[in-house]
């Protein structure tokens, strides 16, 4: 009996064993294939990074070598600098450096990218690079040389010793305090040197980027928790219960209050207020909206009425989109027939009954201020000359926008159709340059200015 059973089981066990071996071999081959592919990608990204940093140094030198009046060539050089730094940033993101301190170098490259882009997009003929900006380029040239040299040193060691990036990933992921790895040591050295560089003068074009939006800069006196409850109840416009107030960031530049409550239907109501001045940051009372009964125009009117009743006067709709039966409508302030885009709020409207379920007012909070809106140098007809001859104008107004370098620019805003789509085009009111162009959705074009 046992002999008969063995005769049956032995082939079965043999087949299973062979199958297990083959399966294990296949899994191991697939694993090795994945590891090799990952290693190749890491190696490619690293060597590309070294190459692009080296090219960045060369391009900065070429730009510095140009005649100060060669504005077209300077712009080309700055565009190349921006392109190379963007590529280098992308390659850093492809390397397993998540847990490795390399933020100083990444920040430095980001600042080079922003500096070169902002300088390249402006009219260098009327606003050439000044002495401080040339000094900045000289500093960037010298710093990039040092970074490129250090990366080439790491690269030579990687090639000479056949070092693997997979070992770097394992070393970083381990909990060992001491990371003994040539590549890790090289990158840490680069980042340490970059962190020790003297502060670079990035110039006025990047000042706005480094300015922090802090609640402490707002006007008004500090409010109490009780005053927050009163403001929240008044803003909600309906009875609230179970009111709670929590203070955030006490003693910091971002001191605020978080308010939470229930309305008469048991729905959650939450808001944030600044401690200084007690100004609303955002409001939310979300709920499920099962069906849409209102159209874009009706949602816009409901949002407009809500803003008027809450002290946001003279706001005009400039953006619209709907998702999950809830409309999200962007409004901007309108002052002296000028749409002031920096002063904006976003209102969420439930499309079943027009109830406002949310308001985001942080941009309005910081940008709402007195502005001197000058008369543009160009007339409306002169501004129209800058448009595509095939552009069919449907609407026109003055608008204050922020351009690509965060400067406020007074423009003529034209809405119309070309190539079968609806666009909003902004023409600089002083020089006729096309500052910005935006494609609009059909629903948005029907409810906005």
pLDDT string in tens for the chain (449-residue length): 556 655 655 566 666 666 666 565 565 555 656 667 777 888 888 889 889 999 999 999 999 988 888 888 998 999 999 999 999 888 888 887 765 667 788 888 888 888 888 888 888 888 888 888 888 889 889 989 888 888 888 888 888 877 777 776 666 666 554 444 677 777 878 888 777 776 766 665 555 555 566 777 788 888 999 999 999 999 999 999 999 999 988 877 788 999 999 998 889 999 999 999 999 999 999 999 999 999 999 999 999 999 999 999 899 999 999 998 999 999 999 998 999 999 999 999 999 999 999 999 999 998 998 888 889 999 999 999 999 999 999 999 999 999 877 889 999 999 999 988 999 999 999 999 898 999 888 777 777 75
Q: What is the pLDDT of residue 178?
A: 45
73: left (phi over 0), alpha (psi -120 to 50) or beta: alpha
Q: What is the pLDDT of residue 99?
A: 55
In a domain, 2, yes or no: no
Distance (Å, whole) CA 410 – CA 433: 11
For residues 42 and 147, state if they share a domain.
yes
In a domain, 4, yes or no: no
- The CATH number for 321's domain is 3.30.310
Tell me which of 304, 339, 367 is where a domain ends. Answer: 367
Taking the C-alpha atoms of 278, 259, 349 and 401 in order, what is their torsion angle to the nearest 10 degrees? Answer: 40
For residues 156 and 228, state if they share a domain.
no
Q: How many domains does the chain have?
A: 3
For residues 105 and 235, state if they share a domain.
no
Q: At what angle do helices 103-121 and 182-195 cross, to 10 degrees?
A: 50
For residues 25 and 133, state if they share a domain.
yes
Distance (Å, whole) CA 221 – CA 395: 43
Contact between 276 and 215 under an 8 Å Cβ cutoff? The reply is: yes
For residues 47 and 186, state if they share a domain.
yes
In a domain, 301, yes or no: yes
For residues 256 and 174, state if they share a domain.
no
β-pairing verdict for 392-402 and 338-350: parallel
3 state SS of 429: coil
CA distances from 49 to 46, 52, 95, 109, 190 (A): 5, 5, 10, 12, 13
For residues 138 and 272, state if they share a domain.
no
Q: What is the pLDDT of residue 179?
A: 44
Distance (Å, whole) CA 210 – CA 408: 17
In a domain, 361, yes or no: yes
For residues 61 and 137, state if they share a domain.
yes
Q: What is the pLDDT of residue 415?
A: 93
Q: Among candidates 361, 366, 235, 210, which has minimal Cα distance to 310? A: 235
Sign of CA dihedral 27, 33, 34, 36: positive
Phi and psi (nearest 5°) for 231?
A: -65, -40
Q: What is the pLDDT of residue 262?
A: 92
Tell me which of 187, 210, 233 is where a domain ends. Answer: 210
Contact between 246 and 284 under an 8 Å Cβ cutoff? The reply is: no
Q: What is the pLDDT of residue 186?
A: 78
In a domain, 280, yes or no: yes
Q: What is the pLDDT of residue 10?
A: 59
Containing structural domain, residue 388: 380-447
3 state SS of 8: helix
For residues 187 and 64, state if they share a domain.
yes
| HSE-up (13 A, CA, CB side) for residue 185 | 10
Q: What is the pLDDT of residue 342?
A: 93
For residues 205 and 246, state if they share a domain.
no
CA 279 to chain CA mean position, Å: 25
Tell me which of 178, 210, 242 is where a domain ends. Answer: 210
Distance (Å, whole) CA 43 – CA 180: 19
Distance (Å, whole) CA 118 – CA 78: 9
For residues 222 and 349, state if they share a domain.
yes
DSSP state of 405: T
């Amino acid at each position: 009996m046992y002999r008969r059973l063995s005769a049956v089981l032995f082939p079965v066990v043999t087949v299973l064993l062979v199958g297990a071996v083959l399966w294990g071999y296949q899994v191991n081959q697939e694993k090795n294939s994945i590891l090799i592919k990952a290693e190749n990608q890491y190696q490619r990204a690293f060597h590309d990074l070294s190459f692009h940093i080296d090219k960045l140094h060369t391009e900065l030198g070429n730009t510095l070598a140009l005649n100060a009046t060669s504005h077209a060539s300077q712009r080309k050089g700055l565009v190349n600098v921006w392109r190379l730094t963007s590529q280098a940033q992308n390659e850093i993101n492809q390397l397993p450096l998540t847990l490795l301190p390399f933020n100083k170098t990444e920040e430095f490259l980001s600042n080079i990218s922003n500096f070169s882009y902002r300088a390249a997009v402006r009219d260098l003929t009327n606003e050439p690079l000044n002495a401080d900006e040339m000094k900045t380029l000289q500093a960037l040239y010298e710093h990039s040389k040092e970074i490129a040299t250090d990366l080439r040193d790491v690269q030579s060691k990687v090639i000479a010793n056949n070092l693997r990036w997979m070992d770097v990933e394992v070393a970083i992921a381990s909990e060992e305090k001491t990371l003994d790895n040539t590549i890790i040591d090289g990158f840490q050295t680069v980042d340490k040197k970059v962190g020790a560089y003297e502060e670079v003068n990035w110039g006025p074009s990047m000042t706005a980027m480094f300015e922090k939006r802090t609640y402490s800069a707002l006007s008004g006196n500090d409010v109490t928790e009780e005053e927050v409850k009163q403001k929240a109840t008044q803003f909600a416009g309906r009875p609230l219960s179970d009111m709670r107030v929590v203070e955030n960031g006490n003693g910091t530049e971002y001191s605020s209050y978080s308010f939470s409550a229930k309305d008469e239907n048991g729905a959650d109501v939450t808001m944030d207020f600044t401690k200084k001045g007690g100004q609303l940051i955002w409001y939310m009372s979300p709920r499920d909206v099962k069906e849409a009964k209102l159209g874009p125009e009706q949602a816009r009117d409901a949002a407009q009425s809500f803003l008027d009743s809450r002290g946001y006067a003279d706001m005009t709709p400039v953006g619209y989109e709907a998702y999950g039966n809830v409309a999200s409508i962007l409004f901007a302030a309108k002052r002296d027939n000028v749409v002031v885009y920096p002063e904006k709020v976003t209102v969420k409207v439930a499309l079943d009954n027009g109830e406002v379920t949310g308001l985001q007012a942080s941009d309005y909070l910081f940008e709402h201020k007195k502005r001197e809106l000058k008369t543009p140098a160009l007339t409306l007809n002169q501004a129209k000359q800058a448009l595509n001859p095939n552009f069919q104008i449907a609407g026109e107004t003055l608008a204050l926008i922020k351009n690509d370098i965060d400067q406020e620019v007074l423009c003529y805003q034209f809405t119309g159709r070309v190539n079968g789509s609806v666009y909003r085009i902004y023409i600089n009111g002083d020089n006729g340059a096309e500052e910005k162009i935006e494609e609009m959705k059909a629903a948005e074009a029907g409810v906005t200015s």
